[in-house]
Structure 1
Amino acid sequence: MSAHMDVKRALWQTFLESAKPTLDQWLTQLEQPQSTQERALLRLLEANSDCAFGRAHHFARLHDSTQFRDNVPIHDYAQLQPWIERAQNESEAILTSSPPLFFERTSGNSALQKAIPYTRAFLAEMHSALTVWLADMHRQVPGISHGSSYWSMSPPLQMPVAGPNGIRIGSASDLAYLHGSHLAGLAGTLLIPEFSGELSQWRRQTLLALLADADLSFISVWSPTFLTSLLQPLFDGETPEHVQTFAWLEAALPASRQSALRRARSQGVCTELWPRLAAVSCWMEGPSRHYFTQLAVRFPQTQWLPKSLFATEGVVSIPFGDGPGCPLAIGSHYLEFLCEDGALRHSHSLRLGETAQVLLTTGGGLYRYALGDRVRVVGMSGATPRVEFVGRATGTSDLVGEKLDEQTVQNLFDRCLATRGAACLIPNAYASPPHYTALVATSRHLDASALALTIETALSDAFHYCLARRLGQLGLVQVRLLDGGADQLAHVLQQAAELSGIRAGDFKPRSLINRLETAEALLALTESSCRHL
């Protein structure tokens, strides 16, 4: 065993020893979800009773979850945004008694980009969840500690800037999330590729760093399409760009790794590239299931571990234990759930088979925040429900993290088309790479190529759509022109809805088709009848 590997095992061992109290506490919490959640809520109310939001909502007078629900309304980002803007501009304590360390950028349903406050308390909540996840992952697959780890890190498209009150907006690196915790010690196990500032070079440098490391033992990404896209030049010799990248990689590697690279290409799998690769962790549920299944073929020797529902705004579930789904993160934030029948449930009262939207209350200053994600209860860990991610709430599409919402798409069509309501955007989830197709009904001649460029430019205003495109996780938007006007489009949409199992009277035409079964039917219906880009 090399000294290099000895160091990484020692770092993991140090982490596991420091994680034991957190893990023991978590095991107790799983058996007591109701009291655990109630205590978490009361801590948050007490800690933030003196901030502007706490005073406005009478936190000091709230003593249980029922009073909290009665005094604090459910918020989406648009409703919370005025408070967040105050926290970015004023020196007074606005959302939390302690000021944010920084605001992290993300995109959402009602705005192209959101700013989520990160406080010390919120990071501690996230650290607890990450500690449980990593410790249990090591229990399942000890081999992840035997070499290097790669945690997907993409270059920041927007550098951090200081807000009006001096609080930073944006983080320079994903490693900032680990600051101040014993998790930071695991940074010494990470393979961290260089970033030169040019995105195409970043992709090459990342792939080169991975290929150069024969001792890679663990890969953690969010979307499986990220890794699929990254590896594409190894297995796709059809495009000049991929041919050029493969030649560049081959020339940059030592002879032993060149041989492994050539064998991987000829065999179509990564086994000889990374013989110690013990596990890959990624999203494996909802819209990601198809992409994960395709990617897993490249790694026949590797164990696949699910990602749970971690979002910029908070953590909903934690990969832990055996069985389907992941247990709710009851020890991190306070969680509520809006069921499809309109009922509001707490973590302990969710029933097997129920599907619900997630509401988060966190130490970062999000209170009864509608995350926009839907989960389904698929099992139990002790007395705590295990859930799996179903998808985004109605009106959004999120194949690889682009998080498009219907209002954004409708606004886009209003700008790009002369006739309103005569177009819809369709996710082509099973293409490689996935992409969106704009179906435009028109009775006049349109330049499909120019229209596609216009729509692509407008879509790229959405932060995470732009990121997914630049990382190669999404392909260019395509355009299909449907002869006729809005009536013809409505007819085709209705056909697709019924073919995909929606009752005829229940279908509502939308500018964004977010149900994948309907999208697939719509693409099949229009494949031969439309003029394509």
Structure 2
Amino acid sequence: MAESAFDPAGIWRAFARAVQPDVEYWLAQLDAPEQAQSQRLMALLAANRETTFGRQYGFASIASPDQFRERVPMQGAAGYLPWLERASRDAQPVLSAQAPLFFERTSGSTSRQKLIPYTPAFLREMQSAMVVWLADMVRVCPGIAQGRAYWSMSPALQPAGVAPNGIRIGSASDLEYLGGSSAAALAATLLVPPFSGNPATWRYETLRAIIADESLALLSVWSPTFLGSLLRPLFTPEDPSCACELAALEADLPGPRAAALRRALADGHCERLWPRLTAISCWLDGPSHGYAQALRARFPQAQWLPKGLFATEGVVSIPFGEAPDCTLAVGSHYLEFLRDDGHICDVSALAPGDEAQVLMTTGAGLYRYALGDRIRVTGMTARTPRVTFLGRAAASCDLVGEKLDESIVNEALAPARARGATACLVPFQQADAPHYVLLLAGVEEHAVQALRIEAEQRLGHIFHYAHARQLGQLGPLRSRRIPGAQAALGDLLQRAAERTGMRAGDVKPSGLVTRLALAEAMLEMTEA
């Protein structure tokens, strides 16, 4: 499309008109979530009753959600792994009647990576939530239609592959998620950086492309750590490696954009670099909150929009309306909720203030799958709950029997975060005495020791941690300060994750690093 003919506002208007029936259907489901959920479940069971899984658990004779709960066990990621491995190995339908178009790797930020089957039915479930989210975003923030948008489409830093049954591993690009949906028309508004195929240069290529485009109106990424890491040269120009990158950018950019870059560096923020930038969409709650807050001052002209709880395994909630929390995607998958007392309920039993873990049944062939994400109900949209993401319930670390999980660690890190720092705990398994290292950014050197002591005292209230310390099995908590502002820790996390082969856009902030390869990379990078 020639630049003179480029009409992003017209493309967005046409999209909004096309998806209006989808939005109206979504609104109707919010008024009757129990009915919408029951219909979704029974349709999934009917479609997949002749699969290996469906025959084993008698899908053909299940007549209600209650029977489904009675007959099909809830399973976490580890328990479900043999089924997923079988689905990637066998030619016959194992989990879904539809053959997957491709398998997508889970992020692997906390545990062993899994291959999730992306079937046509599952993509439609994801797209049904996505088009409503996009339509509502342009309604809430119409300025995003006045220019180009950058959506996080980071290259996979793991090699593409083929499963044993011949099905491709990995999407060809993030745009494959939109194929066949009304949102595919918005691809014409996207700023798509050229990618040479070299993982070592994709970050520079992406940064150059977005700086070169003055019309940038929307930045849509998953994690704020990805955005902070991508734009790091703009925020830390005094760093020698960033100074070199900035010099290369100035030489590589057209004159007016190089001048805009110099003005942005002098200002300390990005308003004059992207005058049309209206909104930034990313995770804003849970462990991402501190990293997003650290970036806000760099974009005084932009509205920050929540992302909702999207995972490789499915979508739990999407932003809808002006509220800072997100509405459960009751029309996409069948959702259940595991309370702290072990009771499992459906969407109709949730009330404001409730906290629970999410279970999903999806067109990908996941049935009563414990996602590992923990949510709190914050309000209602019509009769459907709105939720905020609290963290990973399943994220745990156990070097010598200390049994730490993310909720425990977040409590121990609360004093550091109250002082405006970003913080996380990293296991050091290879030390003579295994121990944890407290990484801190955005805090002065003189405060590090006091914050370490306070975190250790709070961890000492946990029986298994205190017992391991008393026996000498676990060494004392150590600390390392990451120079720079709060975002410096997010940049470290991002780069270490990429070094271990994670897809750049999939990196998720966490108070507790449980993936040992990631922990080793972070400690190695901070050793000096």
Query: Does the TM-score normalized on the shorter chain lie above 0.5?
Result: yes
Helix, strand or coil at the partner of 2:231: helix
Q: Aligned equivalents of 1:496 and 1:110: distance in 2?
A: 22
Q: Aligned equivalents of 1:276 and 1:257: distance in 2?
A: 14
Q: State the identity %.
A: 49
Paired position in structure 1 for 2:129: 129
Paired position in structure 2 for 1:354: 354
Paired position in structure 2 for 1:177: 177
Deviations 1:297-348 (A, max 9, x none): 0000111100100000000001101324111000000000011122212112
Q: TM-score, normalised by structure 2?
A: 0.79
Letter in 2 for 1:214: E
Paired position in structure 2 for 1:345: 345
Q: Aligned equivalents of 1:525 and 1:134: distance in 2?
A: 41
Helix, strand or coil at the partner of 1:509: helix
Q: Aligned equivalents of 1:442 and 1:244: distance in 2?
A: 36
Q: 1:99 to 1:296 in 2, by over 3 A?
A: same
Paired position in structure 1 for 2:333: 333
Q: 1:341 to 1:421 in 2, by over 3 A?
A: closer
Helix, strand or coil at the partner of 1:78: helix
Tell me if the contact between 1:493 and 1:522 (Cα under 8 Å) persists in the aligned partners: yes
In the TM superposition, 1:249-398 aligns within 5 A as 249-394=249-394, 396=395
Q: 1:423 to 1:309 in 2, by over 3 A?
A: closer
Letter in 1 for 2:258: Q
How far is the alpha carbon of 1:112 from its aligned partner? 2.0
How far is the alpha carbon of 1:107 from its aligned partner? 3.9
How far is the alpha carbon of 1:440 from its aligned partner? 7.5
In the TM superposition, 1:67-78 aligns within 5 A as 67-78=67-78
Q: TM-score, normalised by structure 1?
A: 0.79
Letter in 2 for 1:509: Y
Unaligned 5+ residue runs, structure 2? 442-450, 469-475, 483-526
Deviates more, 1:210-219 or 1:180-189: 180-189
Tell me if the contact between 2:402 and 2:464 (Cα under 8 Å) persists in the aligned partners: no
Deviates more, 1:47-56 or 1:110-119: 110-119
Deviates more, 1:192-201 or 1:382-391: 192-201
Q: 1:242 to 1:306 in 2, by over 3 A?
A: same
Q: Aligned equivalents of 2:401 and 2:397: distance in 1?
A: 12
Deviations 1:368-426 (A, max 9, x none): 000000000001000000000000005x2xxxxxxxx526xx3xxxxxxxxx5699998
Paired position in structure 2 for 1:464: none
Paired position in structure 2 for 1:509: 465
Letter in 2 for 1:239: D
1:406 to 391, 397, 412: 397
Paired position in structure 1 for 2:9: 9
Q: Aligned equivalents of 2:320 and 2:432: distance in 1?
A: 55
Paired position in structure 1 for 2:153: 153
Tell me if the contact between 1:494 and 1:507 (Cα under 8 Å) persists in the aligned partners: no
Paired position in structure 2 for 1:81: 81
How far is the alpha carbon of 1:84 from its aligned partner? 1.7
Query: Paired residues, what number?
Result: 457
Q: Aligned equivalents of 2:227 and 2:55: distance in 1?
A: 46
Greater RCO (CA < 8 Å, at least 6 residues apart): 2
Letter in 2 for 1:370: A
Q: 1:237 to 1:130 in 2, by over 3 A?
A: same
Deviations 1:234-255 (A, max 9, x none): 2212322111000000111112
How far is the alpha carbon of 1:212 from its aligned partner? 0.4
Tell me if the contact between 1:105 and 1:170 (Cα under 8 Å) persists in the aligned partners: yes
Tell me if the contact between 1:424 and 1:511 (Cα under 8 Å) persists in the aligned partners: no
Letter in 2 for 1:62: I
How far is the alpha carbon of 1:131 from its aligned partner? 0.5
How far is the alpha carbon of 1:270 from its aligned partner? 0.3
Q: Aligned equivalents of 2:301 and 2:454: distance in 1?
A: 44
Q: Aligned equivalents of 2:205 and 2:247: distance in 1?
A: 14
Deviations 1:141-186 (A, max 9, x none): 1111111000011111223322222211222311111112121111
In the TM superposition, 1:414-493 aligns within 5 A as 437-438=426-427
Tell me if the contact between 1:159 and 1:172 (Cα under 8 Å) persists in the aligned partners: no
Tell me if the contact between 1:496 and 1:525 (Cα under 8 Å) persists in the aligned partners: no
Tell me if the contact between 1:102 and 1:171 (Cα under 8 Å) persists in the aligned partners: yes
The answer as to 2:68 corresponding to 1:65 is no
Helix, strand or coil at the partner of 1:180: coil
Runs of 4+ in 1 over 6 A off after TM superposition: 421-435, 440-444, 492-495, 524-527
The answer as to 2:30 corresponding to 1:30 is yes
Helix, strand or coil at the partner of 1:104: strand
Letter in 1 for 2:259: S
Q: 1:347 to 1:207 in 2, by over 3 A?
A: same
How far is the alpha carbon of 1:231 from its aligned partner? 1.1
Q: CA RMSD in A?
A: 3.4
Q: Aligned equivalents of 1:311 and 1:180: distance in 2?
A: 20
Paired position in structure 1 for 2:53: 53
Tell me if the contact between 1:33 and 1:383 (Cα under 8 Å) persists in the aligned partners: yes
Deviates more, 1:17-26 or 1:152-161: 152-161
Q: Aligned equivalents of 2:164 and 2:350: distance in 1?
A: 43
Helix, strand or coil at the partner of 2:100: coil
Paired position in structure 2 for 1:120: 120
